[in-house]
């Protein structure tokens, strides 16, 4: 069996032009090992023990940076989604969403101006065993439109949904 350590794998990915975000989770926590990990191509390095909140904050930061976003807030016109607090505001007023509605909206806002298919949304919000013929994504989209207004989520016939700033 062929075995390779994580830093060698990251180095090979970078040499091959693979630029996905990489967060190293390890028990090795000396400053020398952290420098080696980041110099090998990791975007961040977290040594055990760590708090889950710190791990999640670092993952959110990696996602923001990889999508070219600096702020933890996603904005689409007057609609703001704060990933840190789980709050959504529209023109400054808080909008209460269920966890599934929040995940659908977050995914659409992360992929703003791109058409996202219904199956892509289903894969994002549910586990593998979910019945993909269900119309729950359509239900969540309808609920979001009622709560946010109909101008934010556009249906692209036959393809999916697209977030846009209100007209």
CB distance 148 to 140 below 8 Å: no
Residue-wise pLDDT for 60-85, tens only, equals 888 777 766 656 688 888 999 987 78
Residue-wise pLDDT for 126-142, tens only, equals 765 555 557 888 999 99
Domains of the chain: residue spans and CATH = 6-66 (3.40.50.2300), 73-163 (1.10.10.10)
Looking at residue 153, its pLDDT comes to 94
Find, among 112, 108, 51, 54, the residue nearest to 84 by Cα.
54
Residue-wise pLDDT for 33-51, tens only, equals 888 888 888 889 998 988 8
């Amino acid at each position: 069996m062929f075995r390779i350590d994580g830093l060698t794998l990251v180095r090979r990915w970078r040499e091959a032009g693979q630029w996905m975000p990489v967060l190293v989770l390890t028990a090795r926590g000396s400053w020398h090992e952290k420098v080696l990990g980041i110099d090998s191509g990791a975007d961040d390095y977290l040594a055990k023990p760590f708090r889950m909140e710190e791990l999640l904050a670092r993952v959110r930061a990696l996602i923001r940076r990889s999508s070219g976003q600096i702020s933890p807030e996603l904005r689409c016109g007057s609609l703001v989604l704060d990933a840190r607090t789980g709050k959504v505001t529209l023109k400054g007023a808080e909008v209460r969403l269920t966890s599934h509605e929040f995940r659908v909206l977050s995914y659409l806002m992360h992929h703003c101006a791109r058409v996202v298919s219904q199956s892509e949304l289903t894969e994002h919000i549910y586990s593998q065993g979910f019945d993909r013929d269900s119309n729950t994504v359509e239900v969540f989209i309808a609920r979001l439109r009622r709560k946010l207004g109909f101008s934010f989520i556009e249906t692209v016939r036959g393809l999916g949904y697209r977030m846009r700033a209100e007209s």
